[in-house]
């Protein structure tokens, strides 16, 4: 079981079971939303519970995806593909050890020019 929250603590999450490996997304939208790049883990909706979900605001960033953030503190929390039964949770939301590690970098073709990716993990252009 893994617990987490937004910065102000209004939105709290619990994920049951182990976390799969997250990925780091360097696409334009994740960079804009997070301020750097996004690291998130895909979990089945059935294993995610959200307290104070009414504090989550959704930004529809494309036809198929909405992005959830706390309306009080602005923390990036969810990347939600509306036609699927899973949700990506921002790794920064988790408290304590996660017991997992990044699997790969995606959308590196859109990464910023002010940093290098030097961790040796696979990189996908998309
Ligand atoms: Zn908050």
**pLDDT (tens digit per residue) in 90-120:** 999 999 999 999 999 999 999 999 999 999 9
Closest C-alpha to 25, from 67, 74, 73: 67
Average pLDDT over residues 17-31: 96
* CA 69–ligand 1 middle distance (angstroms): 8
* CA 55–ligand 1 middle distance (angstroms): 8
Average pLDDT over residues 10-28: 97
* CA 44–ligand 1 middle distance (angstroms): 23
* CA 59–ligand 1 middle distance (angstroms): 16
Phi-psi map region of 61: left, alpha, beta (phi>0 left; psi -120 to 50 alpha): alpha
**pLDDT (tens digit per residue) in 37-55:** 999 999 999 999 999 999 9
Give the strands of the sheet with 56-60, arranged side by side.
56-60, 65-70, 76-81, 86-90, 38-44, 23-25, 104-106
* CA 51–ligand 1 middle distance (angstroms): 11
**pLDDT (tens digit per residue) in 68-96:** 999 999 999 999 999 999 999 999 999 99
DSSP designation for 82: T
d(CA 80, CA 64): 8
What are the structure tokens assigned to 123, written together? 């990189």
List, in order of start, the domains of the chain with CATH numbers: 2-110 (2.170.150.70)
* CA 124–ligand 1 middle distance (angstroms): 32
Stretch (H or E) spanning 34: helix 28-34
* CA 58–ligand 1 middle distance (angstroms): 14
pLDDT band at 2 (very low <50, low <70, confident <90, very high): very high
Are the C-beta atoms of residues 39 and 91 closer than 8 Å to each other? yes
* CA 114–ligand 1 middle distance (angstroms): 29
Are the C-beta atoms of residues 78 and 14 closer than 8 Å to each other? no
Give me the pLDDT at residue 45, please: 96
pLDDT band at 10 (very low <50, low <70, confident <90, very high): very high
Above pLDDT 70, what percent of the chain? 100
Q: How many CB atoms lie within 10 A of CB 88?
A: 22
Computed over every residue of the chain, the mean pLDDT equals 97
């Amino acid at each position: 079981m893994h617990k987490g929250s937004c910065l102000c603590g209004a939105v709290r999450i619990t994920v049951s079971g182990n976390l799969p490996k997250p990925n780091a997304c360097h696409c334009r939208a994740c960079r804009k939303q997070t301020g750097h790049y996004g690291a998130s883990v895909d979990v089945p909706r059935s294993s995610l519970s959200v307290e104070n979900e009414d504090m989550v605001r959704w930004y529809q960033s494309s036809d198929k995806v909405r992005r959830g953030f706390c309306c009080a503190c602005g923390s990036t929390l969810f990347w939600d593909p509306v036609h699927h039964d899973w949700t990506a949770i921002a790794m920064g939301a988790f408290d304590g050890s996660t017991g997992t590690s990044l699997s790969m970098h995606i959308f590196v073709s859109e990464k910023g020019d002010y940093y290098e990716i030097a961790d040796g993990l696979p990189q996908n252009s998309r």
